[in-house]
Amino acid sequence: MDAISDGRIRRGSREYRYALVSLFCLGISAFSLLYAPQPLLHTIGGEFRVTASQSAWLMSATMTGLALCVVLWGQLSARIGERKIIIGGLFGSVALCLVFPLLHTWWALIVVRAVQGVTLAGPIAAALAWVGRHIEAAAIARVSGLYIAGTTVGGMSGRLLSGIMSETFTSWRIGVAAVALFATALGGIFHSTLPQSAGMRREASLSVRPDSPAQRRQRILAYAYGLIGMGMFVGIYTVLVYRVAEPPWRLGTSVTSMLFLSYLAGTLSSAKAGALVMRWGLRPVMLFGVVTMAVGVGLTIPTNIVTLWVGLFVLCSGFFGMHALSSGRAAGLHPYPGRGSGIYLMCYYVGSSLGGILFGHCWDIGRWPAVLALIAGCLIALAVIASAVRSEESALGSRKEKEK
């Protein structure tokens, strides 16, 4: 059997194994750059004498730039080529990450982070587009799942590295620069291992999938999950940095960064979510994800480091499992999968931007009790979304019935 047939890479081939390695490294590189400042928000905010809601803009500015441009980059990827967009965006973001520690004006930091979001939108949008265009259909879910697993490792490693290096050298600037060098190394591995294939060169050459009202409703549910779920998730981690810095915790930056090891649970759940759906069905798995997140939040309430850590592991497990399913549904139920994925990512990062700001305001107004009230509202909304989801087969079945 040819390794590459009909322009697509076959599962089990050497090119397929290289694709797994390269996309895993891409996920780590891009998302380490995206989340590097998060464990340092309290430290950076203290230096510039800004509030929690204001320091949250270091994350929200990047997410806003990313959300505004991810659909555009996804559209351009078919014309320019995914590899060019990924490499250009990744190393442009590395350059900005190296500039960031050299700045001494608050608004200059915000502007650089916003532009970094624009550059990161390229590789993040083009990664799944590359998978859909170059990998055989039977293997797309596997490759996409490993890429998403890489993003969880990247989000974790970027936070860990910046936090540990910041405390070791007593400078948040060195912490951020260390992440830039780390991302450069992973980006180099991606560039050297991403295989070539004939691929599909034009969007017009892709077959347009059928659409129906049922499919549109299900896509909207996936987009809503991305918006609300990511807003809650990022908001929790944003205020967590402030919560553990105050009495009775008083945790240092390096210890705080270790809390982000909880992302390892998301790495596992995102890779296994599809298998659970095959066994239990989509709706039960989605509802189980909401319950899992609620249990995780409940475990973070006591002022105990052990229950806090366990709670974050449980929270990440539920969130990333649902994210893997929702992102795949958003693309799979759209006539143009690349466009559906782009819209989902736009909603996902709009939620991230708004979540950081809203949760930061809740912290400023009423500390942890106010944050818990907002979390409860988000969980109720996610439960409603999970209750309304239907399998892809059901949505397609509704369309076929109307055609008869």
The tens digit of pLDDT for each residue in 329-361 reads 776 677 776 677 778 888 888 888 888 889 988
Task: State the Cα–Cα distance between residues 357 and 218, nearest whole angstrom.
Answer: 28
Pick the CATH number of 10-195+209-403 from 3.10.129.10, 1.10.1030.10, 3.30.70.270, 1.20.1250.20: 1.20.1250.20
Residue 203 has pLDDT above 60, yes or no: no
Task: Report pLDDT digits (tens) over 110-166.
Answer: 999 999 999 999 998 888 778 777 887 667 667 777 787 888 889 889 988 998 999
DSSP characters over 146-169: HHHHHHHHHHHHHHHHHHHHHHHT
- Residue 157: both structure tokens together: 């490693």
Which of 100 and 394 is assigned the larger pLDDT?
100
**pTM of the full predicted structure?**
0.75
Q: Identify the pLDDT of residue 201.
A: 47
| DSSP code string of 6-55 | TTEEPTTSHHHHHHHHHHHHHHHHHHHHHHTTGGGHHHHHHHHT--HHHH
pLDDT at 206: 46
CA 284/CA 292 separation, integer angstroms: 12
